[in-house]
Amino acid sequence: MGGVSNSSLSTLPSTDRADVTARLRDALLAASFTADGLLELLGAPAYAALARSETVPALRATRGDTPLETLVRLFLLQQPVPHARVERVLPVEACVDAGWLLPTGGGEIAATVDVRPYGGSGGEDWFIVSDLGCAVGGAGGIGSRDEQVVLGVGGASTTLAGVTVRTPVGSALDLGTGSGIQALHAAQHVTRVTATDVNPRALHIAALTLALSGAPAADLRQGSLFEPIRDDETYDLIVSNPPFVISPGARLTYRDGGMGGDDLCRTLVQQSGERLNRGGFAQFLANWQHVEGEDWQDRLRSWVPRGCDAWIVQREVQDITQYAELWMRDAGDHRGDTAEYQARYDAWLDEFEARKVRAVGFGWIALHRTDVAEPSITVEEWPHPVEQPLGGTVRAHFDRVDYLRKHDDAALLAGHFRLAAEVVQEQVGLPGAEDPEHVVLRQNRGMRRATKVDTVGAGFAGVCDGTLSAGRILDAIAQLVGEDPVLLRDRTPAQIRLLVEQGFLEPAR
């Protein structure tokens, strides 16, 4: 991206100059160098193009000399800017001394790192620091330059941030923090945040992200997985967007796990259970292998540590050729020597064939430490659109699991329920028919599920407002349709249980 080389990989801004960082933050905010300010300046097409590492539209939109245009060219597009222009916006000498800026000769100033505005879930104006050209990860062939680069915000980062439970807690652990985005989110609702990374450069950049965003500092530790964590340390929340790519070797630190197959993700999940406090959550993004002769869902169930409920959602599946091509493009291999590209492609397929891997799944894994004798493990495929953020949906899923575990059918019939928000009913049948062929309940929030119900189920859900018990509602329905109320009470709890499990009905008391 832009016209500045990535030679600044050897240097980074100082984390000791808190005064300069605070002045820089004030200047960025004063110029409206924020997510909203960018969208207003660039317009939606150019703003979206930046997320694809396409800079031409943004360059065209920043040909003026306003403070915001100067900052966009400097920090997002990595273009050298005349010293006089930068001096009107930033404390240049202080930023040069602290390492944020660099004189390039010819009277111009360049940025040493990428700084990207990022809107927090509560409307906060944050800034994510990353290596030059690495704000959106991979489209420009990052791996061809340096394996130790630190990426900025990408789709995986925002997905994990969106699905994470945001209950206020005392302690959180961000494993493989990278640019620090998960630690930044955690700092808003967690008293003590610990962040680790095998790459010391990532720890430095994470500290810059937190400081420039005005967030509290985290306890930053170098090491792989749980190695930097003491034996007696446990947490209320563990999050990780690990280097989950299944590849032959560990060429690129920012993406390749360095273990065989999907062992890194498996190890991360299995070891997290003993690091969670009771009632705590662990949430990860992961890849997993679809192995010939093996059920992928059983494979993932075997990863779940003892004492934890689990909800695992497969969002996407790619065959091995699609998967290899995706990550070779990410590394820029397709732009290099053809013979080398083909050799790497062969090596990737050799690795998969040796392990009898036919496809690779991607999704999220959520654990809830309950210490019950019979944990609930839900593994499902859901490639359909969802509504982010889903942190509340994840928390509600485990709350419903716990509710259903504690309520047998008799207790369920004595319970009171409320129809979830924005659930609609669809009836499908032939035009003019007296009765529909089937009835579908559909969610317009969260997971946006749809489920078929019979007329009793639809009628039951429609009158659930928390005032009457489930049993009394069924008795009224039985009288209305002329059915034996005892038989209706016997056959309906399974349908009620399913509607609660999938979030169409919520316990009211």
For residues 216 and 495, give the distance between their C-alpha atoms in angstroms, rounded to a whole number: 48
In the prediction, which pLDDT does 138 show? 36
Element (H, E) at 330: helix 320-330
For residues 487 and 268, give the distance between their C-alpha atoms in angstroms, rounded to a whole number: 48
In the prediction, which pLDDT does 10 show? 52
- Answer whether the bond into residue 389 is a cis peptide, omega within 30°: yes
Question: For residue 492, which of 435, 418, 412 has the smallest C-alpha distance?
Answer: 412
Q: Which residues make Cβ contacts (< 8 Å) with residue 250, sequence separation at least 6?
A: 256, 257, 258
- DSSP alpha helices (H): ranges in 149-277? 155-163, 181-186, 200-212, 263-272
The position carrying tokens 């790497």 is: 344
- DSSP alpha helices (H): ranges in 142-290? 155-163, 181-186, 200-212, 263-272
For residues 52 and 49, give the distance between their C-alpha atoms in angstroms, rounded to a whole number: 5
Structural contact between residues 128 and 152, judged by C-beta atoms closer than 8 angstroms: yes
Question: For residue 252, which of 347, 162, 333 has the smallest C-alpha distance?
Answer: 333
In the prediction, which pLDDT does 186 show? 98
Q: Residues 304, 288, 220, 145: what is their CA dihedral angle, to the nearest 10 degrees?
A: 170
In the prediction, which pLDDT does 256 show? 86
43 φ/ψ sector (left φ>0, alpha ψ -120 to 50, else beta): left
For residues 473 and 489, give the distance between their C-alpha atoms in angstroms, rounded to a whole number: 10
For residues 29 and 24, give the distance between their C-alpha atoms in angstroms, rounded to a whole number: 9
**Burial label, 285 (beta-carbon count in 10 A; 0-12, 13-18, 19+):** buried
3-state helix, strand, coil in the chain (%, to 5): 40, 25, 35
For residues 175 and 270, give the distance between their C-alpha atoms in angstroms, rounded to a whole number: 14
Question: For residue 136, which of 48, 60, 229, 206 has the smallest C-alpha distance?
Answer: 48
Kindly list the distances between the CA atom of residue 389 and the CA atoms of 208, 235, 243, 314, 324, in Å, as whole numbers in the listed order.
25, 22, 23, 17, 30
In the prediction, which pLDDT does 430 show? 83
State the DSSP code for 217: P
Exposure pattern of 153-183 as b/e (b: 16+ CB <10 Å)? bbebbebbbbbbbbeebebbbbbbbbbbbbb
Element (H, E) at 175: strand 169-175
For residues 443 and 502, give the distance between their C-alpha atoms in angstroms, rounded to a whole number: 10
Kindly list the distances between the CA atom of residue 95 and the CA atoms of 81, 91, 110, 131, 396, in Å, as whole numbers in the listed order.
14, 6, 11, 17, 46
User: How far is residue 32 CA from its own chain's centroid?
Assistant: 26
Question: What is the per-residue DSSP string for 376-403?
Answer: -EEEEE--S---S--HHHHHHHHHHHHH
Q: Which residues make Cβ contacts (< 8 Å) with residue 491, sequence separation at least 6?
A: none
Q: What angle separates helix 493-501 from helix 391-406, to the nearest 10 degrees?
A: 150
Return phi, psi of residue 466, to 5°.
90, -5
Question: For residue 199, which of 219, 221, 167, 232 has the smallest C-alpha distance?
Answer: 221
What is Dmax (Cα atoms) for the chain? 90
Q: Which mean pLDDT values do the consecutive 10-residue runs of the chain (509 residues) have?
A: 43 91 98 97 93 89 97 95 97 97 94 95 94 61 61 92 98 97 98 97 97 98 97 98 90 83 96 98 98 98 98 98 93 88 96 97 98 97 96 98 97 97 91 82 96 94 97 97 96 97 94
Q: What angle separates helix 338-354 from helix 320-330, to the nearest 10 degrees?
A: 140
What is the SS3 assignment for 505?
strand
Question: For residue 361, which of 451, 261, 448 has the smallest C-alpha distance?
Answer: 261
Exposure pattern of 335-357 as b/e (b: 16+ CB <10 Å)? eeeeeeeeebbeebeebbeebeb
Q: What angle separates helix 18-30 from helix 200-212, to the nearest 10 degrees?
A: 60
Return phi, psi of residue 425, to 5°.
-110, 135
Structural contact between residues 310 and 367, judged by C-beta atoms closer than 8 angstroms: yes
